[in-house]
Amino acid sequence: MTIVKGSKKTDMAKPKNAFYAQSGGVTAVINASACGVIETARRYKTKIGKVYAGRNGIIGALTEDLIDTSRESAAAIRALRHTPAGAFGSCRYKLKGLEENKAQYERLIAVFKAHNIGYFFYNGGGDSQDTAYKVSQIGERLGYPVVCVGVPKTVDNDLPITDCSPGFGSVAKYVAVSIREAAFDVASMAKTSTKIFVLEVMGRHAGWIAAAAGLAAEKASDAPHIILFPERVFDEKAFLARVDQSVKTHGYCAIVVSEGVKGPDGKFLAESGLKDAFGHAQLGGVAPVISQLIKDKLGYKYHWAVSDYLQRAARHIASKTDVEQAYALGKKAVELAVKGQNAVMPTIVRKSNRPYRWEVGVADLADVANVEKMMPDDYITDDGFGITRKCRAYLEPLIQGEDYPPYKNGLPSYVRLKNVAVKKKLNDDFSV
Amino acid sequence: MTIVKGSKKTDMAKPKNAFYAQSGGVTAVINASACGVIETARRYKTKIGKVYAGRNGIIGALTEDLIDTSRESAAAIRALRHTPAGAFGSCRYKLKGLEENKAQYERLIAVFKAHNIGYFFYNGGGDSQDTAYKVSQIGERLGYPVVCVGVPKTVDNDLPITDCSPGFGSVAKYVAVSIREAAFDVASMAKTSTKIFVLEVMGRHAGWIAAAAGLAAEKASDAPHIILFPERVFDEKAFLARVDQSVKTHGYCAIVVSEGVKGPDGKFLAESGLKDAFGHAQLGGVAPVISQLIKDKLGYKYHWAVSDYLQRAARHIASKTDVEQAYALGKKAVELAVKGQNAVMPTIVRKSNRPYRWEVGVADLADVANVEKMMPDDYITDDGFGITRKCRAYLEPLIQGEDYPPYKNGLPSYVRLKNVAVKKKLNDDFSV
C-alpha cells in the first residue's frame, strides 16, 4: 500500500477550524460561554480543528487578527468560566446589510477560507445574531458555506425566544444585592442624616435590570420603595408624593432608577439638568438629577450611586444559574455545529418556576435577528413604581445560587490569556 | 432567718446593665462588633445585666429610647455578625464640650442611673471616642461612675493607635475588587469604545480607601493606572499626560478618584464644574468632572461609577479579617469592662505582615480622642498617582479572606431585629 503524501490531501482530511468572537458590551459570564465553546470543541477533535478567536470581536476577523486558543492550557480555558468581561476583546461594530457592506462580508469569507474556518460562533446580542445570520447566507452564496451558530449574551435581556439571556441574571443579582445592602445603611442613618438613596442602573430602552432590583423587596416596607422604568414616562408629581410617603412611613426612601428614564418631553432625565462650567449640557447620570429634584422639592438629604460597569462586571457575585446557562449555551452551540445545524442559536427554555427547571432549546437565527423582547406590560405595577408578582416569578430563579471565583491575596483570581496571534495568510490590509 | 424583701436590696444585688450605641456612618461590620459585645455580655451574667442599645445611637440614650437586646434570640444576635449597617440605628450627632453641653451629659447620666446602667460601650470613630471619654469623666464628677469603653469603627481608617479600624478592610476589599472587575470590562471594550473608566470612592480627608484600590494592580499594566488622593493637589497637566500615556501603552486607563480631591484653589473638584438648570453649583460627584475633563482635553470615550454607600455596605464581599477584628474588638470591650477598666478602647496590634498576625491591645481613650491618623507620606508614590510597596504591605493583610453571608432566594439573608423598646422610667421629654 502506498501512502500518498501531499498538502492537498492533508488539507482535505483536516477538520475545519472554528472562529469564535465576542460582541458588544461584555458581561460577567460571556467568558463562561467562551469556556463552553472551547472546552466542547476540544472534545470534538475529529470534527473541529482549532478554535480561533477574533481579537476585539468581529474586527479581528476582518483584519485577520486571529487568536489561537489552542495555545492556552486547559487550566486557563477552565478559568474563563469564572473570569468576567471579554477575554479576547469585544467590539461595538455592526455589520450593515449585505448589499451596503458586501465587501465586508466577502472579506470575512476570504479570511475564513484562508484559515480553513468552517464554523462561526458569534457571542452577542440581537445585532450579532443578525450578523451571524447574514454570514450563513453569504457563505452559501459565495460557495464557501460556513456553519453559523449564535451564542446569546446581553445584560439587557432583550433577545427573543430564549427565556433569558446569559449576563442578565448576574447583573440582576448584583443590583438586588446592592440596593438591599445600601438600604440597610440608609435605614441606619435616616434619623439624623440621609433619608434618600438613589441607585442608577443600566437599561436605556428596557427596564429589566431596574425590575430585578425589585427582588430585594420581600415586603412593602423593604427597599427599593420606588423603581423608575424607561417603560413609564416620569411623572414628577406622583413620584415626589411617593417619596414623601415612603419617608413618612418607613423613615427613608430607597429608589432604583433606570438610566433610560425619560420625561414627558421624551428626553432622557439624565440630560435634563446639568450643565458644565461652559453651559454645555452634560450627561451626568440620572441619579444626581433625581436626587437634586427631591432635595429641591422635599428638602431631604440624599446620597446616590451609579454602578455603571461595576454591575455587569461583578463576577464576584455572579448568579450560579447564569454561569451555568452561559456555559451550557456555549457547549450546545458547538454540539449543534458539529451536527451541521446552521443559522441557529441555542436558547434557554423554562420548564417550571418552582422548582426552577430549564433546558436548552434551539431557535432559528432568522427568527432571532433584530427582534427586541420588551418587558411585558403586566410586569410593572399599576402605579408604575414596582414589579408585579408575575415579574417576580419570572426573575427570581435567574439570580439563584452563588458561584464564587477563587481568590488570591484577598482578590478574585481572574485569568488573562496569552492571546497568541495566528500567522496571517492574506497579508493585505483591510480597514474597518 | 428573715428574708428582707425590698426594691432597694434587689437593685443593689442586681448586676449593672450595659448601654451600647452605634455612632456615625455605619459599615459592613459594625454589627459584627455589636454581636461581639452582646454575645460576650451574655456570658458574664453575674457582672452584666441586660444590654440596652440606643435607638439611633446616642440620641436613644438622650431621649430614653432604649432597645432591650435581651428580647432578641441567640440566633438573631449571631446573625448580626453577617449583617451590614447599624442594626439599632446610628446617628450623626456630636456631643460638644462638657461645659457647653453640660445638660446633655447630665441627661445621659440621669438615664443611665434610671436604668441601672453601669457600662457604656460606644462604637464609633474619633468623635465617639471623645464622647465616651467625656462620659467617663462626668460620671465620676456627678457621683455615678460609669465604665466607658470605646469600640473602634470607621471606614476612613483614621483612628490613632489601633493599627486599623473595623469597617475599613471591607471597603478596601470592595473597591479593589470593583476596580479590577471594571477594568477587565474596559480592557475588553477599549478597541472601539470606552477607553477611560473612573471610579469615585469615599474619603473626604484621607486617601486610605483610594489607596486600597491600588491593591488590584499587581503589575504596572494592571488597573488602576492612576489614583487621585486628597493628600495631593490635583495637577491637571500631569494627570492628563498620564492618562494619555496609559491609553497609548495599555489601550485604556482605569482611574480611582477620592471624593475629597481638591484643585490648586483648595476647592473640591466635585464642586468645580456642574451647575443645575438654575445655575446653582451642584455637587455631582468628582467622577463625572474628571471624566468630562478627559473627554474635553483628550477626546477619549469614558464611563464612570460612583459607589457611594454600596462600598461601605457591601457585606457580601466583606473581608474575613475585618469581620474577625470587628467581632474581637466588641468582645474585648466587654472583657475590659467587666475587669473594671475604664476610659479605654481595645485596638488592633499588628505583630507581623507575612504571615499576617495581629492581637488585641488596649489604648486609653484620652490618647485616642480627637486625634486623626493621616496616611503616611511615603505611602504615595513620588508622582502622586499610586501606592508604594510600604503602603501595599500595610494594606494587603486587611482584605484577606472572604466571609460570605448566608443566602436565601438568591439574596443575602440579613437580620432585622425586633428592637423592642425598654419601658421609660423618667417620663420627661428631652429634645436633641
Q: What does the pLDDT look like over B231-290, one tens digit per residue?
A: 999 999 999 999 999 999 999 999 999 999 999 999 988 876 555 444 555 556 899 999
pLDDT at B372 exceeding the cut of 90:
no
Which of B184, B308, B402 comes nearest A304 by C-beta? B308
Instruction: Region of B243 please: left (phi>0), alpha (psi -120 to 50) or beta.
Output: alpha
Q: Is the Cβ pair B84, A184 closer than 8 Å?
A: yes
Give the pLDDT confidence score for residue A4 in this predicted structure: 44
Give the pLDDT confidence score for residue B12 in this predicted structure: 53
B312 neighbors A305 (Cβ within 8 angstroms): no
Average pLDDT, whole number, for chain A?
93
Give the pLDDT confidence score for residue B132 in this predicted structure: 93
CA distance B164 to chain A (A): 17
Chain A residues with beta carbon closer than 8 angstroms to that of B317: 316-317
pLDDT at B391 exceeding the cut of 60:
yes
Give the pLDDT confidence score for residue A273 in this predicted structure: 56
Separation between Cα atoms, residue B232 and residue B238, nearest integer Å: 12
Separation between Cα atoms, residue B86 and residue B69, nearest integer Å: 14
* A364, containing H or E segment: strand A357-364
pLDDT digits (tens, 9 = 90+) for A341-375: 999 999 999 999 999 999 999 999 999 987 889 99
Opening angle at CA A246, ends A243 and A250, nearest 5: 150
Chain A residues with beta carbon closer than 8 angstroms to that of B194: 309
Range scoring the smallest mean pLDDT among A7-21, B166-180, B189-203, B353-367:
A7-21
Chain B residues with beta carbon closer than 8 angstroms to that of A216: 411
Chain B residues with beta carbon closer than 8 angstroms to that of A313: 181-182, 184-185
CA R_g for chain B: 24
Separation between Cα atoms, residue A132 and residue A151, nearest integer Å: 10
Which of A180, A182, A190 comes nearest B411 by C-beta? A180
Average pLDDT, whole number, for chain B?
93
Give the pLDDT confidence score for residue B272 in this predicted structure: 66
Which of A273, A277, A414 comes nearest B276 by C-beta? A273
Q: Is the Cβ pair B317, A319 closer than 8 Å?
A: no
Q: Is the Cβ pair B189, A308 closer than 8 Å?
A: no
Chain B residues with beta carbon closer than 8 angstroms to that of A305: 306-310
Q: ipTM of this model? A: 0.95
Q: Is the Cβ pair A282, B288 closer than 8 Å?
A: yes
pLDDT digits (tens, 9 = 90+) for B355-369: 999 999 999 999 998
Give the pLDDT confidence score for residue A274 in this predicted structure: 53
CA distance A211 to chain B (A): 15
For chain A, helix, strand, coil in percent to 5 are 40, 20, 40
| Closest-CA residue to A396 (of A173, A93, A73) | A173
Give the pLDDT confidence score for residue A223 in this predicted structure: 97
Give the mean model confidence (pLDDT) for residues B162-174.
Answer: 98
**How does DSSP classify residue B372?**
-
Separation between Cα atoms, residue A123 and residue A409, nearest integer Å: 32
Give the pLDDT confidence score for residue A7 in this predicted structure: 43
Opening angle at CA B44, ends B39 and B49, nearest 5: 90
pLDDT at B2 exceeding the cut of 80:
no
Just list the catalytic residues of A: 156
pLDDT digits (tens, 9 = 90+) for B210-231: 999 999 999 989 999 999 999 9
Letter for the amino acid at A349? V
Separation between Cα atoms, residue B410 and residue A396, nearest integer Å: 8
C-alpha cell at B130: 471623645
| Closest-CA residue to B412 (of A166, A182, A83) | A182
CA distance A341 to chain B (A): 30
Which of B309, B317, B407 comes nearest A197 by C-beta? B309
Letter for the amino acid at A203? G
pLDDT at B10 exceeding the cut of 90:
no
> Angle at which helices A126-141 and A102-114 pack, to 10 degrees?
70
pLDDT digits (tens, 9 = 90+) for A10-34: 445 689 999 999 999 999 999 999 9
Give the pLDDT confidence score for residue A13 in this predicted structure: 67
Give the pLDDT confidence score for residue B284 in this predicted structure: 62
For chain B, helix, strand, coil in percent to 5 are 40, 20, 40
Domains of chain B: 11-154+316-370+401-412 (3.40.50.450), 168-315 (3.40.50.460)
**Ordered per-residue pLDDT tens for chain A, 432 residues:** 444 444 444 445 689 999 999 999 999 999 999 999 999 999 999 999 999 999 999 999 999 999 999 999 999 999 999 999 999 999 988 888 888 888 999 999 999 999 999 999 999 999 899 999 999 999 888 999 999 999 999 999 999 999 999 999 999 999 999 999 999 999 999 998 999 999 999 998 899 999 999 999 999 899 999 999 999 999 999 999 999 999 999 999 999 999 999 999 999 888 765 554 445 555 568 999 999 899 999 999 999 999 999 999 999 999 999 999 999 999 999 999 999 999 999 999 999 999 999 999 999 999 998 788 999 999 999 999 999 999 999 999 999 999 999 999 999 999 999 999 999 999 788 888
B121 neighbors B20 (Cβ within 8 angstroms): yes
